[in-house]
Amino acid sequence: MQNGEIGRVLSEIADMLEITGENFFRVRAYRNAARAVWDYPATFAELSIEKMSEVAGIGKDLSAKIETLVKTGELALHRELSAKVPPGVLALMHLPGLGPKRVKQISEQLAIQDLTQLRTALEAGALRTIRGFGPKMEEKLLEHLSREPRTKPKRWLYSDAALEVDALLAYLRRCKAIERAEVAGSFRRRRDTVGDLDILTISSRPAEVSKWVLAYPRAAKTLGSGETKTTIVLNGGLQVDVRILPAKSYGAALIYFTGSQAHCIHIRKIAQRMRFSLNEYGLLRAERSIAGRTEEDVYAKLGMSWIPPELREDRGEVEAALEHRLPRLIERSDLRGDLHTHSTYTDGRASIEEMARAAQQAGLEYFAVTDHSQRLAMVHGLDPQRLREQWREIETVQASVSGIKLLRGIEVDILEDGSLDLPDDVLAELDWVVASVHSKLDQPAPEMTRRLIKAIKNPHVDVIGHPTGRLIGKRDESTFDFGEVLRAAHEEGCALEVNSQPDRLDLADTACMAAKRAGVKLVISTDSHSTNGFDNVEFGLAQARRGWIEPADVLNTRPLNELRQRR
């Protein structure tokens, strides 16, 4: 059982507990546990129950439940709650503006049990009879439901797919008949979600490879098996095509199956102009292969630099490769600091000292403690008094932890009118200010645009956190005039964040490209809520790399003294 599956069950329990009116602390315990599992950098199911209980946010009681879930595939509590809360009711919670409390309202007062019943109630105007559901909410929900296809293929978060990839590649590389095994497809291009997996192998003994693939312990069913390809479906539902190739065409196949389709079409046209043909078997002239063993050979024969997979979306990378002017994409080693983290002062699961030592172990030179401001009462957001108490603890921790610099920060809420949740005189005393929207994310575009620009113009704001507010597969982006926001950010010298949380990855890749073109600096942050969270930076880096981002485009590649001079 992978982290995504465990986290989903725990998260659904939290949702159902809230819908059924359980107390806040029990709900919060399951939410924290779900997040702890999602954040865990390795396969959680492989931990002993003792090791599980040591993970912040889990504890003894929940570790026992997770062990039961891993061993049996279910939990009695989840089963009991599912009998009270139909699956259709849970689906309602993924709609914009419908949290557990509102879902409970419409379920109890209007007997709405699924999306179809909700659509009928909306069209009849029935939701207006419930306090807090006005015409704007009705319009927003109807618009969303009209855009949702009745059925849509399952897509996996990149982070969830990564766990499957790591496990499967480790298994394949133990097969003596396999000389090499690599992942291709949208996963290799590091898109934020993937629909399935393509694995390419080199082998001269395909029958042995197919047999090995079919014996994979996490394979739930087989869709087909032959000399060149075996297709399996994993326990969680992810389909995997394992292709078996000769070494002489491996590089060409890697280009072909990595994609994107638009990229491959473009380079095939270039090959045709040179009187070559290009396919998964190689770069051919009159049916004779002149390149194909490696990707570098194929690109070189076409007069191109090798193109990093993240760029292969036909967004100008082919022209840049022909002119040998591809960007030097940002790498993890370029990052010196993390400027968005949380501690137990609000909704984090580790103390400031634990976070400092984890940041140091992650190789960082500095990090900012940016707990939530007072508006987020549910997570005990900080008012000025508690914030100053935190500063004293930061000073104490700094005295005991050497080799890394702690910065006094805050994630301050941007209120509905664009003002900030803490007074300017308090913000002025901080080293770093992240300003984020956490409420009314469905404001009309003109209002959201004015709201963000007002926050950007506050002289104490350094960066706008998770600017669009999206949660992949769960919540759409807020709508606003991104061009106007970029203009304001450039004029004010305010950065935008690339949030590395696996379900956010906000800004998206295309927005990173737009920010770069507008001259707006980025900050790649983990938004860590635990000591394991610093490894999530890989996901934010992937978004930035897909957006053609170089080290100079990112503020936290700078030494601390340069970062301070900027303020």
CA distances from 272 to 252, 268, 284, 285, 302 (A): 15, 6, 10, 10, 10
Looking up residue 162, the CATH number of its domain turns out to be 3.30.460.10
**Backbone phi, then psi, for 254, in 5-degree steps?**
-65, -40
Alpha-carbon dihedral 185, 187, 189, 192, rounded to 10 degrees = 130
How far is it, in rounded angstroms, from Cα 226 to Cα 94? 40
Count the domains in the chain.
4
Clarify whether residues 66 and 45 are in a common domain: yes
In terms of residues, how long is the chain? 567
> Is the bond preceding 260 in cis, omega lying within 30 degrees of 0?
yes
Which of 260, 295, 322 is the endpoint of a domain?
Answer: 322
CA distances from 340 to 178, 369, 478 (A): 43, 7, 21
Other residues' Cβ atoms within 10 Å of the Cβ of residue 456: 25
Q: How much is the pLDDT for 97? A: 74
Clarify whether residues 312 and 346 are in a common domain: no
Residue 279's H or E segment, with its range, is: strand 277-279
Asked if residue 350 lies in contact with residue 344, where contact means CB atoms within 8 angstroms, the answer is yes
Clarify whether residues 410 and 314 are in a common domain: no
| Residues sharing a CB contact under 8 Å with residue 269, sequence separation 6 or more, in sequence order | none
Clarify whether residues 284 and 401 are in a common domain: no
**HEC states along 120-152?**
HHHHCCHHHHCCCCCHHHHHHHHHHHHHCCCCC
Which of 245, 261, 296 is the endpoint of a domain?
Answer: 245
Clarify whether residues 303 and 230 are in a common domain: no
In the numeric block, which tokens belong to residue 287? 């049916």
Clarify whether residues 208 and 269 are in a common domain: no
DSSP labels, 387-447: HHHHHHHHHHHHHH--SSEEEEEEEEEB-TTS-BSS-HHHHTT-SEEEEE--S-TT--HHH
How far is it, in rounded angstroms, from Cα 66 to Cα 5? 11
Alpha-carbon dihedral 563, 391, 57, 96, rounded to 10 degrees = -60
pLDDT digits 0-9 by tens, 411-444: 999 999 999 999 999 999 999 999 999 999 989 9
Burial profile 195-214: b = 16 or more Cβ within 10 angstroms, e = fewer? ebbbbbbbbeebeebbebbe
Place of tokens 């419908």: 98
List the domain range (segments joined by +) for residue 62. Answer: 3-147
What is the C-alpha radius of gyration for the chain, rounded to an integer number of angstroms? Answer: 25
Dihedral (CA of 75, 79, 85, 89) sign: positive
How far is it, in rounded angstroms, from Cα 54 to Cα 60? 8
Burial class (CB in 10 A: 0-12, 13-18, 19+), 304: buried
Clarify whether residues 214 and 162 are in a common domain: yes
How far is it, in rounded angstroms, from Cα 293 to Cα 289? 10
Looking up residue 522, the CATH number of its domain turns out to be 3.20.20.140
Q: How much is the pLDDT for 562? A: 93
Predicted structure pTM score: 0.81
How far is it, in rounded angstroms, from Cα 51 to Cα 55? 7
Our separate counts of H helices and E strands in the chain read 24, 17
Q: How much is the pLDDT for 106? A: 83
Which of 322, 345, 378 is the endpoint of a domain?
Answer: 322
Please give the average pLDDT of every successive group of 10 residues along the chain, which has 567 residues: 83 87 83 81 82 85 91 89 82 76 81 83 81 78 69 79 94 96 97 95 96 94 92 92 96 96 94 94 92 97 98 95 97 97 93 96 96 86 95 96 96 97 96 96 93 98 96 87 95 97 94 95 96 94 97 97 84
With respect to residue 224, please indicate whether it lies within any of the assigned structural domains. yes
Clarify whether residues 414 and 547 are in a common domain: yes
Clarify whether residues 170 and 207 are in a common domain: yes
Question: How, if at all, do strands 405-413 and 366-369 pair?
Answer: parallel
Clarify whether residues 399 and 298 are in a common domain: no
DSSP H helices, 154-248, are: 158-172, 185-188, 206-214
At 293, which amino acid appears? R
How far is it, in rounded angstroms, from Cα 280 to Cα 287? 13
Residue 325's H or E segment, with its range, is: none
With respect to residue 327, please indicate whether it lies within any of the assigned structural domains. no
pLDDT digits 0-9 by tens, 180-203: 999 999 999 999 999 999 999 999
Q: How much is the pLDDT for 41? A: 66
CA 497 to mean position of chain CA atoms: 13
Clarify whether residues 310 and 427 are in a common domain: no
How far is it, in rounded angstroms, from Cα 219 to Cα 532? 29
Q: How much is the pLDDT for 5? A: 83
How far is it, in rounded angstroms, from Cα 338 to Cα 463? 13
Q: How much is the pLDDT for 118? A: 85
How far is it, in rounded angstroms, from Cα 415 to Cα 428? 18
Q: How much is the pLDDT for 104? A: 82
Choose among 75, 52, 130, 64: nearest CA to 98.
130
Point out which residues pair with 496 in neighbouring strands. 464, 522
